[in-house]
Amino acid sequence: MPRNIKFIVVHCTATSQNTSISAIQSYWKNQLGWKMPGYHFIIKPDGELVQLLPIEQVSNGVQGFNSQSINISYIGGVDQKNIPTDNRTLAQKATLLKKLKELKLKFPLAKIQGHRDFPNVHKACPSFDAIKEYKDV
């Protein structure tokens, strides 16, 4: 049965930009005990898009909303002191915009928003206002 996608959710990893995808995946599995990844897609600082999970499957992006969400993240989102900051590279911004446009074509009714824009979320993720930035996508 196809999933009813209502949200395309933008995330940051809340790590330094030189954090490897394998380290992030290891954290999910070993620290959080997740069986599924946190995002469907992750974007490296050089702009490379890596798919971690088919969009037909449910990832662990936003508690309570995962069955109706596609989750996409960029590596970064905090500075050296772990303070939330929008440190997306130009390549990450370009890849993110391109992927959001593709997903919006496939799911025209889905709302693009940040993780922080969901109810009862107490984090800065993705460290910028995704609703405002992508309102015209």
For every one of its 137 residues, what pLDDT tens digit does the chain have, with 9 covering 90 and above?
578 999 999 999 999 999 999 999 999 999 999 999 999 999 999 999 999 999 999 999 999 999 999 999 999 999 999 999 999 999 999 999 999 999 999 999 999 999 999 999 999 999 999 999 999 99
CATH class of 7-133: alpha beta
- In this prediction, residue 26 carries a pLDDT of 95
The residue from 12, 40, 99, 125 that is catalytic is: 125
pTM of the model: 0.95
The residue from 12, 39, 40, 99 that is catalytic is: 39
Going from N- to C-terminal start, the domains of the chain cover 7-133
Report the C-alpha gap between 8 and 113 in whole angstroms.
Answer: 7
Whether 20 contacts 43, CB under 8 Å: no
Note if 122 is an active site residue: no
Note if 104 is an active site residue: no
Note if 12 is an active site residue: no
Note if 40 is an active site residue: no
- In this prediction, residue 3 carries a pLDDT of 84
Q: Taking the CA of residue 24 as centre, how many other CA atoms within 13 Å lie in the half-sphere pointing to its CB?
A: 25
- In this prediction, residue 1 carries a pLDDT of 57
